[in-house]
Amino acid sequence: MSAFRHYFTIHCYSFAILFLLYSLFALGGLFPELAMKEGMLLYAMTAGIALLMAATDRLPLRSNGLIAAVRLLDVAAVVFAIGLPSGFIPLEADIILYVLGLMAVIFVSITGLFMIKDSAEATAINERLTKRKRMMNSEKDKEDEHEANH
C-alpha cells in the first residue's frame, strides 16, 4: 500500500468512526448537535492527525511503545492546535480530557486494525522464510549425501 493510501485510509476510517461516535453522544444528549462548521473541524482534525503521523512515522523508531506514544502526542497536538483557537473545545480540563480520550481511542483502534493486518503479513513472510530455509537445508543434505556416496 502506498504511503498516501495508507494515511488517507487512516484519515477516512477515523473520520467515519469519530462522526458516528459524536452523533451517538449527541443523540444521548452528551454533546451538542453537530453543525456544519464543527463537522468540518472534525474533518480537519482527522486529516491533520494523519498528516502529522505521516511526518512522525519518518522518525527511526523501532519500539512499538515509543511509536504509540508519539502517535498519541500527534493526536493531542492537532486536537489542541485546531480545537482550542476555533473554540470547538472549551478550555475546560474535563472536556479537553474527554475529547482527547475519544480521539485517542479512535486512533488506537485504527492503528490496531492496521497492526492486525501487518502482523498477519509478517507471520506469512516468516512462515515462507522458514519453508525456504527448510528446502535449502534439505537440498544441501542431498548434495552432501551425493558427494559422500561418490
Partner 1 sequence: MKLIIDQSPEYGELEITIKCGMIDERLERLIAQIRMMSSAITGRKDGRSYLIRLEDAYYFESIDNKTFIYTESDVYACSQKLYELEQQLAGSHFVRISKSCILNIEKLASVRALLNGKFEAQLSNGEKLIINRHYVQALKEKIDL
Nearer to partner 1 by Cβ, of 16 and 135: the residue is 135
What sign does the CA torsion over 122, 128, 132, 137 have? Answer: positive
Whole-number minimum distance, CB 21 to partner 1, in Å? Answer: 22
Whole-number minimum distance, CB 82 to partner 1, in Å? Answer: 23
Interacting residues with partner 1 (CB under 8 A): 1-3, 6, 53, 57, 60-62, 64, 67-68, 71, 111, 114-115, 118-119, 121-122, 124-126, 128-129, 132, 135-136, 139, 146
Asked whether the beta carbons of 99 and 83 are under 8 A apart, the reply is yes
Nearer to partner 1 by Cβ, of 1 and 30: the residue is 1
Nearer to partner 1 by Cβ, of 92 and 147: the residue is 147
Nearer to partner 1 by Cβ, of 69 and 97: the residue is 69
Give the cell for residue 34: 453537530
Whole-number minimum distance, CB 8 to partner 1, in Å? Answer: 13
Q: What is the DSSP string of 19-50?
A: HHHHHHHHHTTSSPPPPHHHHHHHHHHHHHHH
Whole-number minimum distance, CB 57 to partner 1, in Å? Answer: 4
Measure the CA–CA gap between 57 and 107, rounded to whole angstroms.
14
Asked whether the beta carbons of 81 and 74 are under 8 A apart, the reply is no
Q: How far is CA 30 from the centre of its chain?
A: 27
